Amino acid sequence: MLDGQIVLVTGGTGSFGKKFTEIILNRYKVKKLIIFSRDEFKQFEMAQTFPTDKYPCIRYFLGDIRDRERLNRAFHGVDYVIHAAALKQVTAAEYNPFEAVKTNVIGAENIINAAIDQSVKKVMALSTDKATIPVNLYGATKLCSEKLFVAGNSYSGRGHSMKTVFSVVRYGNVLGSRGSVVPLFLKQKPTGVLTITDKKMTRFWVTLEQAVDFVLSCLEKMVGGEIFIPKIPSMNIMDLANAIAPDCSTKIIGIRPGEKLHEVLVPRDEARNTLEYDDHYIIQPEFDFWYERINDKDARPVPEDFEYDSVTNKHFLTVDEMSKLLGDITRDIDT
């Protein structure tokens, strides 16, 4: 699908963006791959790994998703947009709420308007389990972002006449990303003490490669308005600590402001619109044009009281499984 196409990724110098770039360059023959981000130094660093003389399809495009005019320029002629840019640190968003809103909410609106104005074919926005039943500002802004992207399909047109379609991928914590607890534990390992917020805490986990693979598979089959949710494993925080540093002691420091004990990917209130597939769920939009996927023979409605959360998840990683996983992705973890 992407061969010969122009692809743009916002937040392209982040953990997801770099893995996305690596996979796109290895698997596809895109006409252009545009790395859109606001940090010139990160773009400089990324260009050392993916230089334009070796990868002539790459364009490094400086800009901020808060700037709609810049997005309009960047999106000109683009076929597919992956929207990964966001302010993601929970504590930073709690202390700087207006900044989080400007990037995560107003930025989402700018992405939608620019994509429609420039006739982008498809936009896939990345979301998080923290957008489900949010208790922190970051989660609340990502919930707003999800709602905006789903509703963006109504602004773009209806049914087969739609020029631009929007969908969302919602998943859990990413192993190997700068925002996960794994780099923190690796940094603390030489001290002999790992800091734990709460022994009962559980989280969904996905690797960067799995996240990119899922986004690309959803990009191909999206019709607009879906929220795609992968079936991924959970893990208890103490088991994670044991997998990373079995010889270390732990120190309980308490839950931080805006933090949950457990995360939810599909809440009960969205169960009535949720379809189950072998390896993922789809939350259907309440749009008339969604008949295109309603008759999918592989789809199964979930029970009315269904909830997909990290504590009752049927698939939990063992310490050995996580140890192997960490060994496989060590090169992706920015310590």
Q: How many domains does the chain have?
A: 1
Q: Is the pLDDT of residue 335 over 50?
A: no
Decide if pLDDT at 258 tops 50. yes
For range 69-80, the mean pLDDT: 97
Give the per-residue pLDDT at 333: 46
Express each pLDDT in 89-102 by its tens digit: 888 999 999 999 99
Amino acid at 123: V
Helix (H, G, I), strand (E, B) or coil at 169: strand
Return the structure tokens found at 61: 């495009």
Q: What is the pLDDT of residue 85?
A: 97
Q: Is residue 156 in a domain?
A: yes
The CB-side HSE value for 205 (13 A sphere, CA atoms) comes to 25
| Amino acid 40: pLDDT | 96
State mean pLDDT over 138-143: 97
More confident residue, 179 or 145: 145
Look-up of token digits 């044009």: 289
Give the tens place of pLDDT for each residue, 188-222. Answer: 999 999 999 999 999 999 999 999 999 999 999 99
Cα–Cα distance list, 287 to 140, 153, 155 (Å): 23, 9, 12
Query: Does position 291 have pLDDT exceeding 60, yes or no?
Result: no
| Active-site annotation holds for 142 | no
The CATH number of the domain holding residue 163 is: 3.40.50.720
Residue among 64, 70, 81 at smallest CA distance from 30: 81
In a domain, 256, yes or no: no
Residue 299 lies in a domain: yes
User: Residue 291: CB partners within 8 Å, gap ≥ 6?
Assistant: none
Please report, for residues 30, 50, 52, 229, the alpha-carbon distance to residue 21 in angstroms, rounded to integers and kept in the order given: 11, 9, 13, 22
The pLDDT of residue 91: 87
Instruction: Look up tokens 């209806």; give the residue.
Output: 158
At residue 23, the pLDDT reads 97
Residues 240 and 322: beta-carbon distance below 8 Å? yes
Pairwise CA distance, residues 170 & 55, whole Å = 30
List C-alpha distances in Å: 148 to 130, 142, 323: 16, 10, 38
Domain that holds residue 297: 6-174+205-232+264-308
Domain-embedded: residue 255: no
Q: Does residue 82 belong to any structural domain of this protein?
A: yes
Residue 18 domain-assigned (yes or no): yes
Q: Is 253 within a domain? A: no
| Band (298; pLDDT cuts 50, 70, 90) | confident
Would you say 234 and 311 are in contact if contact means Cβ atoms under 8 Å apart?
yes
- Catalytic residue of the set 130, 142, 187, 200: 130
pLDDT in tens, 153-175: 988 765 555 589 999 999 998 88
Tell me, what's the pLDDT at 257?
Answer: 76
Structural domain contains residue 32: yes
